[in-house]
């Protein structure tokens, strides 16, 4: 047994988890059995004036000041879009990196910098096993009827135009956590767990799952489809896009930028942070009130459709920044489903009692459950990236 194996046998695993954004690099050293994090850090505003690093290579150097790669057992990379090529977590190899390069256009803000970081670390530390974990992988289980668009078949067969979903690592984590809790505390026998998971944050998506298998999800070919978000439009009639191109003379990149960065809550009220929007609404700002009401309405419409697809629902989960922290949004969303039997314990909703990252917000013993669940994508990625 070599020195590294002796070291591994004497301590818990340490997985370096990397989450690359369009201008950021988040990193954490995670113990996959418990989720404990010995190191967490962020290199922000990469490539921007006054940012922490001028490029992603500099961001990696900054991270390595705090992370001892000699103590790392494996690396896990979060990658937003895996397309049809990557339906599951995939070991980093030269071939995998070249395949990943083909997907740059599917998520132009996130995939190219993530690929750059994947390749850089793999070349520098080739003996450390590395895994790519894709946000789209959970939805590789979706039936074809949920993934296809009603467009010419050649769009699908030649260009891969279909629905892939996003936030899959988060949805999978909170759904499995809730099923485990329910099986331990409220066994349902052979009854299925029909769950709506609401990942509500800067980006938001809704997923319907039965016994941990996704049935449908709100994001599609890109993370732009679905409910209204912080700066993303969500669903828009494609005709409006063509109209703006003709009327304004915008090129496709200008329209895409507007829909990705200037729409959603920001487009409606000039602000993308829900905490500030709630404060504006409380002060009587009509635009903020409209933004909140539209945000909730889009969510409720999506939930209603998925309840029909699942022929009912047993649990609703709120997660991510807004879902875990906004009592107002949770209350407004659930108020639209009181007719179905959902209720909130308002004291719990305002000040949740968290146990193991989960808080029950519905009355104790109530047949239909509402939970806030703290998502932990870093922990989920670490578990999927353990060396074999």
CA distance 303 to 337: 9
* Catalytic entry in 2, 8, 68, 135: 135
- Describe the strand order of the beta sheet including 213-217 as a list of residue ranges: 213-217, 205-210, 194-199, 315-319, 369-373, 358-360
Pairing of strands 130-134, 74-79: parallel
CA dihedral 24, 28, 32, 33 (to 10 degrees): -130
Give the pair of three-digit tokens for residue 89.
């977590």
CA distance 365 to 352: 17
Beta-carbon neighbour count of residue 286 at 10 Å? 10
Give the pair of three-digit tokens for residue 165.
């979903």
Of 376, 375, 360, the C-alpha closest to 315 is 360
Told to judge if 153 belongs to the known catalytic residues of this protein, a careful annotator would answer: no
SS3 content of the chain, % helix, strand, coil (to 5): 45, 15, 40
| Catalytic residue IDs | 135
């Amino acid at each position: 047994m070599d020195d590294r194996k002796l070291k591994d046998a004497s301590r818990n695993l340490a997985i370096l988890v990397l989450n690359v954004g369009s201008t950021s690099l988040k990193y954490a050293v995670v113990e996959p059995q418990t989720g404990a994090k010995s190191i967490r850090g962020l290199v922000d505003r990469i490539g921007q004036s006054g940012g922490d690093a001028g490029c992603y290579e500099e961001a990696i150097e900054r991270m390595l000041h705090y992370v001892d790669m000699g103590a790392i057992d494996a690396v896990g990379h979060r990658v937003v879009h895996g397309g049809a090529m990557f339906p599951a977590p995939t070991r980093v190899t030269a071939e995998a990196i070249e395949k990943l390069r083909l997907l740059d256009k599917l998520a132009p803000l996130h995939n190219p910098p993530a690929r750059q970081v994947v390749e850089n670390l793999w070349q520098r530390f080739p003996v450390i096993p590395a895994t790519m974990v894709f946000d789209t992988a959970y939805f590789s289980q979706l039936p074809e009827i949920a993934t296809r668009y009603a467009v010419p078949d050649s769009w699908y067969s030649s260009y891969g135009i279909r629905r892939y979903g996003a936030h899959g690592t988060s949805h999978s984590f909170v759904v499995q956590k809730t099923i485990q809790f329910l099986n331990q505390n409220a066994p349902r026998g052979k009854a299925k767990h029909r769950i709506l998971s609401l990942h509500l944050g800067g980006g938001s998506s809704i997923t319907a799952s039965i016994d941990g298998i996704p049935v449908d999800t709100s994001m599609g070919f890109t993370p732009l489809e679905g409910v209204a978000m912080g700066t993303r439009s969500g669903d828009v009639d494609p005709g409006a896009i063509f109209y703006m191109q003709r009327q304004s003379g915008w090129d496709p990149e200008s329209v895409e930028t507007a829909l990705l960065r200037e729409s959603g809550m920001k487009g409606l009220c000039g602000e993308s942070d829900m905490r500030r929007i709630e404060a504006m609404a409380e002060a009587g700002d009509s635009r903020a009130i409209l933004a909140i009401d539209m945000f909730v309405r889009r969510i409720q419409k999506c939930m209603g459709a998925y309840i029909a697809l699942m022929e009912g629902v047993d649990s609703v989960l709120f997660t991510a920044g807004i879902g875990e922290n906004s009592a107002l949004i949770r209350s407004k969303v659930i108020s639209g489903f009181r007719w179905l039997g959902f209720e909130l314990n308002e004291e719990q909703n305002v000040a949740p009692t968290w146990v193991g990252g989960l808080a029950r917000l519905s009355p104790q013993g109530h047949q239909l459950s509402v939970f806030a669940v703290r998502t932990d994508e870093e922990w989920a990625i670490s578990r999927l990236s353990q060396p074999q």
